[in-house]
Chains A and B, each alone.
Chain A
Amino acid sequence: MTQNTELQDVIQVDHLNAWYGDRQVLKDINFSVKKGEIMVIMGGSGSGKSTLLRYLLGLNTPVSGHIRLLGKDITGMSHSELHDMRKNMGVSFQGGALFGSMTVGENIQLPLREHTHLDASTMQIMARMKLEVVNLAGFENLMPSQLSGGMIKRVALARAIVMDPKILFFDEPSAGLDPVVSAELDEMILKLRDAMNMTIVVVTHELESAFKIADRITVLDRGEILICGTIDEVRNSNIERIHNLLNRKPRQDVINVDEYMQRLTGK
Chain B
Amino acid sequence: MKYPETEKNGFMVISLTGEVDLNYSPVARQQILKCLKQNKNLLVDLSLVEYIDSSGVASLVEGFQLARQQKQFFALVGVSRAAMQVLHLARLDKVFPIFDTIDAALASQ
Contacts and interface: CB of A to CB of B under 8 A. Distances in A.
B91 A132 contact: yes
Interface stretch (B3-11, B38-46, B55-63): B55-63
B89 A133 contact: yes
Interface of B: 21-22, 25-26, 29, 53-55, 57-59, 61-62, 85-86, 88-92
Chain A's interface size range is 20 to 34
A125 B58 CA distance: 6
Contacts of B86: 195-196
A122 B85 contact: no
Contacts of A194: 85
A118 B55 CA distance: 8
Interface in A152-195: 162-164, 191-192, 194-195
B103 to A, nearest CB: 29
Contacts of A132: 90-91
Given A118-B22, A129-B90, A133-B89, A164 B58 contact: no
Nearest to B30: A119
Interface of A: 116, 118-119, 121-123, 125-126, 129-130, 132-133, 162-164, 191-192, 194-196
Contacts of B25: 118, 122
A133 B62 contact: no
The 8 closest A-B pairs by CB, nearest first: A125-B58, A164-B53, A195-B85, A195-B89, A132-B90, A129-B90, A122-B58, A126-B54
Contacts of B91: 132
Contact of A121 (B21, B53, B62, B89): B62
Contacts of B90: 129-130, 132-133
A97 to B, nearest CB: 21
